[in-house]
Each structure stands twice: as structure tokens, then as C-alpha cells.
């Protein structure tokens, strides 16, 4: 019979959950950080786009900035139509 003086350590999930792509639910809300992670950009770029009136349409929920997943998809589609890849 084995005796344990202390509980065994559970494995720690060290994967970065922010690097996962958000689900494609039209009602999904993204924070500025979620959007930056999804687009693989600095969050400062997201705020700069908002200041200049560029980027996906966002809104304020109190003092928090949020983006609807549907608006992000629409904006990406528009970017692909405006600037075709060479």
C-alpha cells in the first residue's frame, strides 16, 4: 500500500486560451484584447483604428469596448474585397 503525505499535483494547462479562435457565433462579443489576439495585432492598433474611425465597428458597454463577432466578420470580408492579395 502506498502512502501519500501530500496530494498529487494536477497537471497545469499552460496553453494560451486567448490564442484560440473565437467561436463563429453571431452574438459573440469580443473585447479589444480578444480582437487583437484574433487578428494577431497589438491591442494598441485596435484602439488606434477606433480613434481614426477604421477597423470593425465597436461599441462601449460602460467603460468597456466590445465588438460583435458578426461585425468583425463583415469588416474582414470588406477588407478582402477592397485589397485583393497579390
For residue 14, which phi and psi values (nearest 5 degrees)?
A: -100, 10
Q: pLDDT per residue over 7-45, tens digit each?
A: 555 554 545 555 455 556 667 899 999 999 999 999 999
Cell numbers representing residue 58 in the block: 465597436
CA distance 37 to 11: 25
pLDDT, residue 82, reads 81
CA distance 42 to 33: 8
Q: pTM, whole model, 2 decimals?
A: 0.65
At 51, the pLDDT band (50, 70, 90 cuts) reads very high
Amino acid at each position: 500500500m502506498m502512502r501519500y503525505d501530500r496530494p498529487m499535483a494536477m497537471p497545469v494547462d499552460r496553453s494560451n486560451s486567448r490564442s484560440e479562435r473565437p467561436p463563429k457565433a453571431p452574438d459573440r462579443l469580443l473585447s479589444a484584447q480578444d480582437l487583437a489576439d484574433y487578428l494577431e495585432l497589438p491591442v494598441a492598433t485596435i484602439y488606434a483604428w477606433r480613434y481614426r474611425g477604421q477597423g470593425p465597428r465597436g461599441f462601449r458597454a460602460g467603460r468597456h469596448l466590445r465588438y460583435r463577432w458578426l461585425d468583425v466578420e463583415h469588416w474582414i470580408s470588406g477588407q478582402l474585397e477592397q485589397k485583393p492579395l497579390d
